[in-house]
Structure 1
Amino acid sequence: MQALDNIRVLDLTRILTGPFCTMMLADFGADVIKIEPPAGDDTRRWGPPFINGESAYYLSVNRNKRSIILDFRQERDRQRFLKMVEQADVVVENYRPGTLAKWGFDYPHLKAINPRIILASISGFGATGPGASRPGYDVVAQAMSGLMAVTGDGSGPVKAGFSVGDIGAGMWAAFGIMTALWARERTGEGQWIDTSLYEALISWQTYLAGNYFATGELPKPLGSAHPNIAPYQAVRAQDGYLVIACGNDALWAKMVQECEIPFGDEPQFRTNPDRVEHRPELIDRLENEVFQHRPVAEWLERLARAGVPAAPIQSFEQVFQDPQVIHRAMDVVVDHPTAGPIHQLGIPLKMSATPGAVRTPPPLLNQHEGEILRQFGLSGPVPEDDAATHP
């Protein structure tokens, strides 16, 4: 048994934020039906790299789903979708606000068809307000949310290494859907969920916003450093870099002893507020007077012995060779009908009674048309073998 067995999700999303949301639901058992336009999800054509013609980008966030083409320019397919809504639990979409209303799919219309339906909308800036109509891409949200103002070393704007706005909004939407499903158990009614990339990133400002609210001072980019803790960043050793997370004064004392830091007891370094105030001097002296004399591996061994959190800066290759990653099944392989065996990121949420699972590969375009139409009692000229259609 999986936690979301028998929850039926109509997935109108494409690109990343919506597919990530619906993949989370699918991983825990929801029946996610990926409804695509005739050309398919845009990311089917994003690349290289491709694996036997299948986009690696698309393959990364669409497992455990079934695919059908519905062309909403056609009245027949609009009516088919509305019939599917009658039997669904959730609709997820990430079109620009107002698009669903043009097709007659906005929440009031869906609720009239099925009062229990939950509609989750993900956009760049939210469905209301003066910025609602702005097109939303991850890099735009990163720029406007303040994230790029605090990322990098101050030499120029830098975005995060992957699409945290997209993924964050997708996770908020999934959380909203779960909350709405629980509320529906008590009220018997669905509701509309409205979230955005912009708000997701702003909500993650946490202590940086707290610092700003408390002082009025604008947060600055600090490279790998932390504005409230030191040393808590990457430091240069003899043959590379390691990260140290010295989160309190007790850890600092252990680090001073184990790493034989001769200046560790000087007044400007005794307490965390002192070290934060004198961070440039602290890091310069740590690197040049201490860490440059030994390789990364030796420092990691010493710090581990002292119980001080520290880590190497790993490449993707090193990540997926890490015994902990292997043990936690964060790299799984599933057979795809055209790409063959493909690697998928594992499920980070482990549940003792109703675990998630990577059950099926990302679908081919329109792969499940026949079975989906039959499932909803819809008719159409669909061959029994459900031959897949490619863009």
Structure 2
Amino acid sequence: MSQFEDLRVLQEIFGRPGTGPLAGVVVADLSRVLAGPYCTMLLADMGATVIKVESTAGDDARAWVPPHRDGESTFFLSVNRNKHSIALDFADPEQLRVVEQIVARADILVENFKPGGLARYGLDYESVSAWRPDLVYASITGFGTAGGADLPGYDLLAQALSGMMSLTGSQDGEPYRAGVALFDVITGLHAATGILGAFHERQASGAGQHVELNLLTSALSGLVNQSAAYVAGGSVPTRMGNEHPSLYPYEPFPARDKDIVIAVGNNGQFARLCRCLGAPELAEDERFRTVSARNANRVELRRLMIERLAARDAEDWFEQLKAVQVPCAPILGVDEGVRFAEGLGLDPVVLAGSGDREIPTVRHPVEFSRTPVDYTQAPPRLDGDRDRVLAWLQRGRPAVRKAS
């Protein structure tokens, strides 16, 4: 629990049940768009009281439409539930003082301003840590604070500069970006992990620290085996369409009506696949007996598989291959993917908020057996929690104040 806050006061003012593993922890969220807000939403879901400090114009993502729900950007709604919004003009000394009061009451601060952007307000790490040495202060940038400080922190740039786009698309086609801002999300996840690590260490030492992340480093980490192919093996990966550089078969294959993904990771799975296809002899064929042999002879193996897959529809193959534990899947749309998860009993859609403001959102990815997450707060309207935030600031006195 926060060393400053009484959980009962937070519950009374902000209406959260206080059951999550971060109940009583206060987060000053000075981030916007995606990487930072995704991180702080995960913390909020886990019970943290997240004060989303927005400019008077609001988070840029509020204007990113279409698509929208009743005029509100679904982009914004996707990463801002369970937060409390207050809009403040940092250039106004009185309103800046409110920001400072929020920081004085927080355990964690998350920001993704351009490098140096908060220094003019005295809210950069060096300035804040002088009067809040116990604060866990997380900064997210696009490309670090040295040579990349002037580069805009857009996910698409990280996809281009990391090599990700060079790996995505058909072998003879043009590079493609991923269909989602992948490295914003990965950086948000890394930020949440780093923050929790620093917060855990603070419990023992009493000292905060600066947690720094950037999209490019997260991207290179997130490329895992592909970046390792170069740094550890000296091999530069290239686009292979839907194929895998180290495994085969591991891609979509055409069945009678449409494609089905088949993903074979070991020899046992391959043997079961061959039996299901009515060609058990392929598993003993020297061209295909091992992972390396299948990789070397993938063109011929693909031809033989397609001949047999043409006998049935993709859904038929999915049921048959699934029954013998061969990894496979039909290629679904997002709508179908949500319904498929529902059919598995995963309950992917949860309503955030209550009463006349309930917003369908995607479930938090972690389940806790003893300290469950909650979805009591819908994504906030701009400045929608001003009165509650100001009332909270008036209750009690921060243990540390900024020197005047």
Matched, 1:13 2:31: yes
Partner of 1:276: 295
Post-superposition Cα deviations, 1:252-308, rounded to whole Å, max 9, x if no partner, equal 111111111364433211111011112222223312x11122110121122122211
Give the letter aligned to residue 246 of structure 1: V
Partner of 2:3: none
1:66 partner SS: strand
- Aligned partner (choices 274, 281, 285) of residue 266 of structure 1: 285
Give the letter aligned to residue 200 of structure 1: S
Partner of 1:388: none
Cα root mean square deviation, aligned? 1.7
Partner of 1:319: 337
CA distance in structure 2 between the aligned counterparts of 1:123 and 1:346, rounded to whole angstroms: 27
1:293 partner SS: coil
Q: CA deviation at 1:332?
A: 1.2
Q: CA deviation at 1:21?
A: 0.6
- Aligned partner (choices 155, 162, 176) of residue 138 of structure 1: 155
Q: Please list, as runs of the form range in 1=range in 2, the aligned pairs for 1:285-300 lying within 5 A after superposition.
A: 285-287=304-306, 289-300=307-318
Q: Please list, as runs of the form range in 1=range in 2, the aligned pairs for 1:321-360 lying within 5 A after superposition.
A: 321-322=339-340, 324=342, 327-335=345-353, 340-360=357-377
1:356 partner SS: coil
- Residues 323 and 115 from structure 1, CA distance in 2 versus in 1: closer, same or farther, beyond 3 angstroms? closer
- Aligned partner (choices 211, 216, 220) of residue 193 of structure 1: 211
Matched, 1:159 2:171: no
Q: CA deviation at 1:341?
A: 3.9
- Does the 8 Å contact 2:251/2:261 carry over to 1? yes
- Aligned partner (choices 162, 185, 191) of residue 173 of structure 1: 191
2:253 partner SS: strand
1:77 partner SS: helix
Matched, 1:231 2:285: no
- Residues 180 and 361 from structure 1, CA distance in 2 versus in 1: closer, same or farther, beyond 3 angstroms? same
1:366 partner SS: coil
Matched, 1:148 2:165: yes
2:167 partner SS: coil
Give the letter aligned to residue 153 of structure 2: G
- Residues 184 and 142 from structure 1, CA distance in 2 versus in 1: closer, same or farther, beyond 3 angstroms? same
CA distance in structure 2 between the aligned counterparts of 1:83 and 1:45, rounded to whole angstroms: 28
Give the letter aligned to residue 79 of structure 1: R
- Does the 8 Å contact 1:231/1:244 carry over to 2? yes
- Does the 8 Å contact 2:107/2:136 carry over to 1? yes
Matched, 1:362 2:382: no
Partner of 2:12: none
2:158 partner SS: helix
Gaps of 5+ in 1: 379-391
CA distance in structure 2 between the aligned counterparts of 1:84 and 1:263, rounded to whole angstroms: 66
- Does the 8 Å contact 1:259/1:302 carry over to 2? no
Q: CA deviation at 1:70?
A: 1.0
Give the letter aligned to residue 21 of structure 1: C
Post-superposition Cα deviations, 1:195-231, rounded to whole Å, max 9, x if no partner, equal 0111111001222223223442210112222111111
Partner of 1:303: 321
- Does the 8 Å contact 2:159/2:165 carry over to 1? yes
CA distance in structure 2 between the aligned counterparts of 1:284 and 1:104, rounded to whole angstroms: 65
CA distance in structure 2 between the aligned counterparts of 1:357 and 1:335, rounded to whole angstroms: 10
Percent of residue pairs bearing the same amino acid type: 37
1:225 partner SS: coil
Single out whichever of 89-98 and 295-304 deviates more from structure 2.
295-304
- Aligned partner (choices 88, 112, 116) of residue 70 of structure 1: 88
Single out whichever of 43-52 and 169-178 deviates more from structure 2.
43-52
CA distance in structure 2 between the aligned counterparts of 1:35 and 1:174, rounded to whole angstroms: 18
Aligned residue pairs total 375
2:329 partner SS: strand
CA distance in structure 2 between the aligned counterparts of 1:280 and 1:332, rounded to whole angstroms: 45
CA distance in structure 1 between the aligned counterparts of 2:272 and 2:115, rounded to whole angstroms: 54
